Amino acid sequence: MLNESQIPDGYMENAQGCLVPIANIRPIDLARNELVKEKMEKIKALQAEMRAVKASLLSDVDAFVQLSGERYGVRLGGVKGNVSLLSFDGKYKLTRDYGQLLAFDEGLQAAKELIDGCLRRWCADSRPELRAVVEQAFKVDKKGRINTGAVLGLRRIEIDDPDWKEAMRAITESLQVLDSRVYVRAYERDASGAYQPISLDFASV
């Protein structure tokens, strides 16, 4: 796409990147373009404001956590500590949460082979519920992704078998952190005492 400065007077660039004389564009198309561009400017300005508010919130929450920790000579929460802050009356709650995007490398396939070997060896002695749990854990969704939580959940199953333990080690060692993100959320307590999120999503407000 061309920059605004590269488009000659009297022309507009269409979605295919071609220059079209404004005189040849229907009035309804011009009106639609003006509406979308005008609203998009407001949306982008709101997005920038939300980013600034988020940065300020995170900075203020971190400063308060450190101030609170200074009473005991310790640093609270750590670099990636999750914290919840409540108003004195308990009506409002602010939370800071760190999340990680996890994925597995090729070592997961080795773990799957080891687990399959265990199930074959155990044969009739293996409970069908265990086989169902394993199959569900390695099931991929429509985008070809594996449920990370389900695979990691297998490590909670205690089985005294060398191959099973080796498979659990392979799962652990194949885990990779792709990305880390920090979230700040606000909640308000309703009449029943439950905290309801204060949504900042266009689709929910």
Q: What share of the chain is helix, strand, coil (3-state, %, to 5)?
A: 50, 20, 30
CA-to-CA distance for 109 and 119, rounded, in angstroms?
Answer: 15
CA-to-CA distance for 117 and 113, rounded, in angstroms?
Answer: 6
Residue 172: closest CA among 99, 105, 80, 98: 105
Tell me the average pLDDT across 62-80.
72
Quick one: pLDDT at residue 66?
84
**Residue 5: phi, psi to the nearest 5?**
-70, -20
Tell me the average pLDDT across 94-115.
88
Quick one: pLDDT at residue 76?
54
Greater pLDDT, 123 or 199: 199
> What confidence category does residue 86 fall into, taking pLDDT thresholds of 50, 70 and 90?
very high
Quick one: pLDDT at residue 126?
63
Average pLDDT of every residue of the chain: 87
pLDDT over threshold 90, residue 3: no
Tell me the average pLDDT across 55-73.
85
The helix (run of H) or strand (run of E) holding residue 195 is strand 195-197
Quick one: pLDDT at residue 131?
79
Tell me the average pLDDT across 85-92.
95
Quick one: pLDDT at residue 36?
97
> What confidence category does residue 148 fall into, taking pLDDT thresholds of 50, 70 and 90?
confident
Quick one: pLDDT at residue 132?
82
Q: 95 with 82: CB under 8 angstroms?
A: yes
Quick one: pLDDT at residue 19?
93
Quick one: pLDDT at residue 14?
92
107-122 vs 128-137: helix crossing angle, rounded to 10: 170
Q: Write the pLDDT tens digit of every residue in 168-187.
A: 999 999 988 888 888 889 99
Lowest mean per-residue pLDDT among 4-13, 22-31, 185-194: 4-13
